[in-house]
Chain A
């Protein structure tokens, strides 16, 4: 490992291990939520970061995963996690259905289309009484077996989420080094040039969406398992999509650890603001996110990951 990478990696490792040495339930809960958010933001990053196709509609995949989990429980009496494979399968179908037409659009037009699709999906779910309509659905109240994954503390969730995140990041790392990673980055920074080099652009965008959507759906299922409640807003709400975009962008879109860094910064912030403002302050998050989006877009499109690169380059130059 190059020395300039050693320090940030060490900080990351210490942060990720810290919940095991903390006895504060609040801290452990926030840590679990951080990793969960990092899963969906990292999943978003495959399409939005590497391939540069900024989706504002990933709540669709998250909601599908979350709803599949609680539908499996309320309709079939299965443990919620048993709905996760269904969620992933539905997300694949939706990826093809949404991806084929929307990938004809480029840039902002693509973003707006995904935003519109997600808004429509939320409306559909609100009027879908089979799945609880506007009220939503509850998970199991009492643990029937270990498979219900119902734990008193947050640490077990933290471990599960960490494993999923590790798998996703390992896959992303492999992808980044392979032809697919090069092709996605090429599409992200110059679609016309990529096409001229023989890159089948729409097919690779679809691959990216399949991977991205499947892991976002899995994140949704995990969310439903841990929280034990889902309604149209917490599954399909605009803020779900915006969260992924902001975390990836803040940490560094198109980098392996960027979304995780973004989640480490933002989730504690929003949890603290929720605790501070109570239920009445839920709008505050929108304001904060809006400000963050503007600041990143204006001053630092590369996100936090980029700051580190710039800082270490400066130090190297000074040392030389």
Chain B
């Protein structure tokens, strides 16, 4: 098992954003994580990446208990992530942004630059390499975050709504990029709103609602699940 999260609870005061969620992930999987707004997906996701410390439960990544370890320790162990609202290093060029990631496994500047160039070519950002990161629009920034994460040479990549908010012209390219990342042997967890994307990308989906996993299965199975329809559309839609 690559990633194993059991009984994860994250409480903010009396409110349980995540309320006993489990996740088991095999190597080379491409797992979708869906659910309506406020379902606790992002909080759960942040628990997995170490950005949020769970109130209860345990997380093991590659056999190491990482429940309370900081995000940089997750990074060194081979877990990388992107953010829902991209955080690019705005004082740097596109290549320098990616080099920050590459420095994790390559201490020397030249090696880090080579790794960065390889990843920039893979993600289709090679032409923008010398531009300031601030010159990129939202699609470019999301792509840059993926490139930066890939430069850390992760085993597991967590994408937090990497496709949300993209214009439809960019969505195809993004889906293609995610597929090519998966083909490289990198395991992925994809948090997504767009059902169509989930249908096309993943073989297995976890559906979140009110801090719990309410359904699990192939995209076709979960979208037929009455509990899922209720969660998304309300009770009256079930007829």
**Chain A residues proximal to chain B, CB less than 8 Å:** 177-179, 182-183, 185-186, 188-190, 192-201, 254
Contacts and interface: CB of A to CB of B under 8 A. Distances in A.
Given A195-B70, A195-B75, A189 B92 contact: yes
Interface in B181-207: none
B104 A197 contact: yes
- Grouping DSSP codes into helix (H, G, I), strand (E, B) and loop, the A interface class, with mixed when no group exceeds half, is helix
Contacts of B70: 195
Given A182-B112, A198-B75, 16 more contacts: A178-B109, A185-B91, A186-B92, A186-B100, A189-B90, A189-B91, A190-B89, A193-B88, A194-B89, A195-B51, A196-B71, A196-B74, A196-B75, A198-B152, A199-B100, A254-B91
B100 A194 contact: yes
A206 to B, nearest CB: 14
Interface of B: 49, 51, 70-72, 74-76, 80-81, 83, 87-92, 96, 99-101, 103-104, 107, 109, 112, 145, 148-149, 151-152
21 contacts: A177-B109, A182-B92, A182-B96, A182-B103, A183-B100, A186-B89, A193-B88, A193-B89, A195-B51, A195-B71, A195-B75, A196-B49, A196-B74, A196-B81, A197-B75, A197-B100, A197-B104, A197-B148, A197-B149, A198-B72, A200-B72
Nearest to A254: B91
Contacts of B151: 197
Q: Which of B51, B71, B83 has the most CB of A within 10 A?
A: B71
A192 B83 contact: yes
A42 to B, nearest CB: 18
A185 B97 CA distance: 10
Contacts of B112: 179, 182
Contacts of B87: 190, 192-193
A229 to B, nearest CB: 40
B89 A198 contact: no
A188 B72 contact: no
Q: Which of A178, A195, A200, A254 has the most CB of B within 10 A?
A: A195
Contacts of A194: 89, 100
A179 B109 contact: yes
Given A182-B103, A186-B100, A196-B51, A201 B109 contact: no
Nearest to A199: B72
A199 B104 CA distance: 7
A2 B148 CA distance: 29
Q: Sorted from nearest, which 8 A-B pairs have the closest CB atoms?
A: A198-B75, A193-B87, A198-B104, A195-B71, A190-B87, A189-B89, A186-B100, A179-B103
